[in-house]
Amino acid sequence: MISTDLNKAKSILQSDNLIAIPTETVYGLAGNAFSDEAINKIFELKKRPRFNPLIVHLKSSDDLHTIAQKIPEEAIKLAEAFWPGPLTLVLKKQSHISSLITAGKDTVAVRVPNHPLTLQLLNLIDFPLVAPSANPFGSISPTSAAHVFNYFKNELEIILDGGACERGIESTIVGFEDGVSQIYRLGSVSIEEIKQVIGNIEVFHSESNEIMSPGMLSRHYAPKTKTVLVDDVEKSINQFLNKRIGLLMFENKITNTKIIAQEVLSELGDLNESAHKLYASLHRLDHLNLDIIIAEKFPDFGLGRSINDRLLRATKP
């Protein structure tokens, strides 16, 4: 049921059951972070592998010490700059944090979401929430209550309706290894914005495919329709002329009678608008019985890097 009934949402969560919540990034599948029963239900409903950690959502940065310990100065600066907001920090966990949340690691991913409805809910309950994206594992993230309902129908008692997600792509995830700040997942806060707060930061590249945080798998956020990411869309169209083609474009529409449908994310060339519309556009294209979606590569700076990261993972075999 799609609703804004916070008291019902509170009651369901207190019974160790799940709800869907809006955030400024994407909708989350939420449960009590202190309940292994609720945490297990998240993995089961999403069909999410248990080696993939979850993010803990707090009502305020004042609660950070209840979840994490040995917090670096850089993490405190980032929390002050971006919370509530779309930045997740990976920190040493407190001993009572379930290993189910952390995939057995001694670190926990944590953030304060910036959505009024979910912040109201977090202030009604006396526990934080774990909340991965409210979709089956690997599929396109949901940015509306309708997207969540289309995935889970009546498997959730309540989907809190907070409208379309303002940011539209997941939080940026930052970790701290041996005194070095590293981005584990590109997201709604750009590298440039982070550098303004703490100076230099590296983008993590694993030599061993180690999963340090959520969102690091090579294939993720993917439509059911085959999708390719290209520099030259018109050239790519010519390679699929016998196919039902859909396009995902940055700012310019292409005129071609072979195109069944196309989504232009920002006619003004605005990367924030493009991120906001990205997943909703992919959802629409994915429901048109296309043979292929051709996605245009975005400028490789600011949020363009984050959008390219999502599209690259969506197009992995």
Task: Indicate the fold that domain 227-314 takes in CATH.
Answer: Rossmann fold (3.40.50)
pLDDT digits (tens, 9 = 90+) for 42-79: 999 999 999 899 999 999 999 999 999 999 999 999 99
The one-letter code for the residue type at 135 is: N
pLDDT at residue 241 greater than cutoff 50: yes
Strand partners, 31: 130
The share of the chain scoring above pLDDT 90, in percent, equals: 87
How sure is the predictor about 208, in pLDDT bands with cuts at 50, 70 and 90?
A: very low
**0.75 surpassed by pTM:** yes
Distance CA 217, CA 51 (A): 11
SS3 of 19-63: EEECCCCCCEEEEECCCHHHHHHHHHHHCCCCCCCCEEECCCHHH
Q: What is the pLDDT of residue 17?
A: 98
How sure is the predictor about 179, in pLDDT bands with cuts at 50, 70 and 90?
A: confident
CATH of domain 2-203: 3.90.870.10
pLDDT at residue 255 greater than cutoff 80: yes
Residue 38: both structure tokens together: 């609720």
> Which run of H or of E encompasses 182?
strand 180-185
Q: What is the pLDDT of residue 213?
A: 58
* Annotated domain spans of the chain: 2-203, 227-314
pLDDT at residue 265 greater than cutoff 70: yes
Residue 101: both structure tokens together: 């949340």
How sure is the predictor about 211, in pLDDT bands with cuts at 50, 70 and 90?
A: low
Residue 212: both structure tokens together: 């340090």
Give the mean pLDDT of the chain: 94
pLDDT at residue 91 greater than cutoff 80: yes
Q: What is the pLDDT of residue 66?
A: 96
Alpha helices in the chain (DSSP H): 6-14, 36-46, 73-82, 99-102, 116-124, 145-152, 191-198, 233-238, 271-286, 303-314
